[in-house]
Structure 1
Amino acid sequence: MLAAIRRDIRAARERDPAKPTTLEVVLAYPGVHAIWSHRISHWLWRRGARVSARTLAEFTRIVTGVDIHPGAVLGPGLFIDHATGVVIGETAEVGEDVHMYHGVTLGGSGAETGKRHPTVGDRVTIGAGAKVLGAIKIGDDSRIGANAVVVKPVPSGSVVVGVPGQVISRAGRGTPDDSMMPDLVGVSLQSLLTRVAKLEAQNDGQQNGRVIRPPEAGVWHGEDFSI
């Protein structure tokens, strides 16, 4: 238990860009507190003290905003950043050195019994608000984009975005692609507008009326973007 606590503290210090001190992590990181409490409730759950385990898990949810079922299996080195709104179901399994952000759900996809929650591999990053549902496997070194809804297995080394989640990259661990999530909608829209602009130019050599031009250096141009 002491070794696991030390690794949890090290994970928070290494992965939080704020570079907190050990004392800050121990006193002021609810995601770390939730993991520590879960390790105790899971110990109770495995030894048949299920009412005590559920009671401790509920108290932890009230205090930290993190709802982890005591039956879930959490690997060492897990870091839940900002913590609030995280839900991890009973049969979920989380590997080593996983990084989760706020609002993440590892949930079921129906009323089935038995194994009904995800299995998350090692060194996976799950973005804010992402939902991973069902008894699916998320491969090692994968990245799940913010607000993605994942309902199908994900190969190792993948990048997943969208609703429903789509695999858009299989960049190997540690490559430049591993540091950012592409904007599929933005890229598609830019490509479409560029194509339309070329077709209009070929048609009459000029563009008439109100138009929205493709973005230049990430800036959209148009007469009125008010909502």
Structure 2
Amino acid sequence: MLLTNKENKPLSLWKQIKEDFGVPKKNDPALNSSIELLFNYPGVWAIINHRFANRFYKRNFKLTARIIMGISQFFCKMDIHPAATIGRRVFIDHGIGVVIGETTIIEDDVLIYQGVTLGGTSLNKGKRHPTIKTNSVIGSGAKVLGNITVGKNSKIGANSVVVRDVPENSTAVGIPAKVIKRKDSSEKLNHADLPDFNKEMFDFLIKKVALVEHSLKKQECIDLEKENNNLESIYKNFIYDMKDSNQTIESRKAS
């Protein structure tokens, strides 16, 4: 992907870097001064280092590119392959632990939080990493795996594992990730609005069990209290037998 300006002319490296330094001012309310960019924003430096390395890689100086990103990995704590395609105004917030694979394509205005993996699921050559479309947000700890596409304006919840395409204007959460919302929205990802799948599952199971018990009591098909007492008796006998068996084994060893 060739980075261009509004006139569709190639964007120079220095203009890209200047733009990269300006991104935190729009995305991070914690930024108080430009000096902080030099010491507290490893995500910005990782992107800038990648800009240099990517140019070397495309000119077939692959070893040089890998060395640059190896040094960047040591200082920035992010593993970004120099061949990955990263668009304009991409911001990696906090950034520690981010992994971006070789054939990953990240389009413009994407926001990535710490611990994100854009990884592959195949050992074959070719496109094996995800494509992240314009204006998407990838929540902290999320894993987006394989040659899939996260659509434009979409949001991935924290710690989600995405293994299928996500339509544009969607929010996806869970393991594996499921689309829970489809609407056009320019708002940032709000994790307070994401559903708790485990809680919803247990609520469903509890209500289902209550419904079955109520149905059985109403139809008088079985005496639930008697059955429950029988189960308790069986359980206690089982525990007693286990203890007795262990004591017998120990006594045999002693003799």
1:47 aligns with 2:59: yes
Specify the SS of the correspondent of 1:22: coil
Task: Give the CA deviation at 1:173.
Answer: 1.7
Stretch of structure 1 that moved more, 66-75 or 9-18: 9-18
Give the structure with the higher percent helix. 2
Specify the SS of the correspondent of 1:156: coil
1:116 maps to which residue?
128
* Separation of aligned partners in 1, 2:208 and 2:123: 47
Task: Give the CA deviation at 1:13.
Answer: 1.8
1:102 aligns with 2:126: no
* Sequence identity percentage: 40
Mapping of 1:174-213 within 5 angstroms?
A: 174=186, 179=190, 180-190=193-203, 192-193=205-206
1:18 aligns with 2:18: no
Q: Please list every run of 5 or more consecutive structure 2 residues that lacks an aligned counterpart in the other structure.
A: 1-12, 219-224, 226-255
Q: 1:89 aligns with which of 96, 101, 106?
A: 101
1:161 aligns with 2:161: no
* Separation of aligned partners in 2, 1:193 and 1:19: 47
1:152 maps to which residue?
164
* Separation of aligned partners in 2, 1:119 and 1:57: 21
Cα displacement string for residues 64-102 of structure 1 (whole angstroms, at most 9, x for unaligned residues):
101110000101111111111111011100011111111
**Cα distance 1:11–1:196, how it changes in 2: closer, same or farther (>3 A)?**
farther
Instruction: Give the aligned length.
Output: 204
Task: Give the CA deviation at 1:196.
Answer: 5.9
Cα displacement string for residues 34-73 of structure 1 (whole angstroms, at most 9, x for unaligned residues):
0000000001001111110001111110111011100001
* Separation of aligned partners in 2, 1:29 and 1:140: 26
Q: CA RMSD in A?
A: 2.3
* Separation of aligned partners in 2, 1:183 and 1:159: 14
State the one-letter code of the partner of 1:172: D
* Separation of aligned partners in 1, 2:99 and 2:211: 48
* Separation of aligned partners in 2, 1:117 and 1:3: 28
Give TM-score scaled by structure 1 length. Answer: 0.81
* Separation of aligned partners in 1, 2:40 and 2:134: 26
Specify the SS of the correspondent of 2:35: helix
* Separation of aligned partners in 2, 1:196 and 1:11: 52
